[in-house]
Every structure is written in structure tokens, then in C-alpha cells.
A and B are shown apart, each in its own frame.
Chain A
Amino acid sequence: MATLHTVNKSPFQNQTLISCLGHVKAGDSVLMIEDGVYGAMSGSALSEVVAGMGANIKLFVLTADIAARGIDAGRVAEGVTPVDYEEFVDMAASHDRVQNWL
């Protein structure tokens, strides 16, 4: 009974990603999209927080949105899996529910 969580806000703008990570259950997936992809970057003030809170879950980032923002694929933090739109759709279908953190 896993949930796919999507986060579309920058963690430097508000608490949405942190709140999401505080409510996930083991086995859930968190997909960072739109401005949410800034939460997937390595070397930021929040990288360790995200990695630590995401210990029991799977972290993903949408490649189209990192590309759009000029973030090199090499800057995506370790433990975060890049996915494309097709994989996004598959994930939505394979989870029991999708919860969008706005």
C-alpha cells in the first residue's frame, strides 16, 4: 500500500518538501517535479536533510524539469533516481495513490 508523493515547490522557498518527508511511510516514493527539483541537488544546505529524511523511501526527480532549469544530471544528489515522463506515468499507476504536495 505505497503512496507516490509529488513535490513541486523549491525547499528553499517553503516547507513543502520537509513536510512531505515528515509524513511519508516506509516504501513510499517521493518524486520532485517543477521547482521541487531544486530539492534533489547535491551540495546544497538541504542535501543532507533530504537524504537523511529519505532513508526509508525512494527519491526521484523528473529529468525534463532539471534540464529545463539548467541543472546538470551530475548535480543530482546520490540516492535520487532521475525519471522521465513515461516513468512518471508508470509510477502513478503502480502506486496505490498519488498525493500532490502543493
Chain B
Amino acid sequence: MSEVVKKFLYVNRKAPYGTIYAQEALEVVLIGAAFDQDVSLAFLDDGVFQLTKGQDTRAAGLKNFSPTFRALGDYEVTKLYVEQESLDERGLTLDDLQDIQYEDEDDDYEEKPSIIVVSRAEMANVMADQDVVLSF
């Protein structure tokens, strides 16, 4: 294991299926998770659309990668920051998003929410707190 743990933030600003960005971001997050770094994800602007529940891509003939978000906790990716203003602008609330949880191994494996809704100002603080910021 690497001795130096850096804070990595993956910034998601694109809707899920119109371009390949969202799916590629998820692939990179899963790869990066293998390196025991402090990983967070940010969802803002159209990126919040990636987390909506009820995505059904069968008729469109696309791979539905949205269930993968619920598996991130198993890779110790447990911080998904979602921007309130981006939700508001798009007429979305937390209820429109998937219920994404992780098991906290430090708290008797209690299930806890991974999604953290933050204001735009708080999102700016999250971004400024990172060692590495990767955008998709």
C-alpha cells in the first residue's frame, strides 16, 4: 500500500448518456479506488442527472451504469457530494436520486448515506481542499 494518501476529487458535470464522460469517470473512479487514496466524487451542473433513480436504458440500447454508484461503498468510495443549486435549477430533489449507502466498518457496519448535499459555496470549499482534481 502507498504510504502517502492523497485527496482525489472526481468532478462530474455532464449528464449520463449523451456523452461517454460519465461512464468513463466511473471507470476511472473504480480503478483509482484500488490505490487506497482518499476519494470523493462531486456532482454539479448536469452531473446531478447521473444519480437519478429509475434509469431504464433498455429501449435506448445503452448500458445502464447507474447501479454501479450503489456499489462504490464496497470500494470505500463513500463521499458523493451533490450540489443543492444544481438540483434546484433542474427541478430535482434528493428524492429523485438513488438511495446510495455504504457500510461503515468503524461503526458496526451500519448503513449510512453516501450522498452529501452541499451548497455551491460548500462545493467550492470541497474542491479547494483536494490534492488532485480530475474533471469529467
Q: Which residues of A contact B (CB under 8 A)?
A: 1, 3, 15-16, 19, 22-25, 28, 97-102
Q: How far is the CA of A52 from the CA of B104 in the complex (A)?
A: 44
Q: B71-126: which residues lie under 8 A (CB-CB) from chain A?
A: 120, 123-125
Cβ distance A29 to chain B, nearest Cβ, rounded Å: 13
Q: Which residues of B contact A (CB under 8 A)?
A: 11, 13, 21, 44-45, 120, 123-125, 127-128, 130-133, 135-136
Chain A contacts of B127 at CB under 8 A? 3, 23, 99
The total of Cβ contacts below 8 Å across the A-B interface reads 38
Chain B contacts of A22 at CB under 8 A? 120, 124
Cβ distance A74 to chain B, nearest Cβ, rounded Å: 32
Task: Name which residue of chain A comes closest to B128, CB basis.
Answer: A25
Could you say which of A1, A19, A24, A98 contacts B13, with CB atoms under 8 Å apart?
A: A19
Q: How far is the CA of A98 from the CA of B132 in the complex (A)?
A: 8
**5 closest residue pairs by CB, A with B:** A99-B133, A23-B124, A100-B135, A102-B135, A25-B128
Contact check, B133 vs A23: say whether CB atoms are below 8 A apart.
no
Beyond known contacts A101-B13, A102-B13, A102-B135: 6 more, CB 8 A cutoff: A1-B128, A16-B13, A25-B128, A97-B131, A98-B133, A100-B135
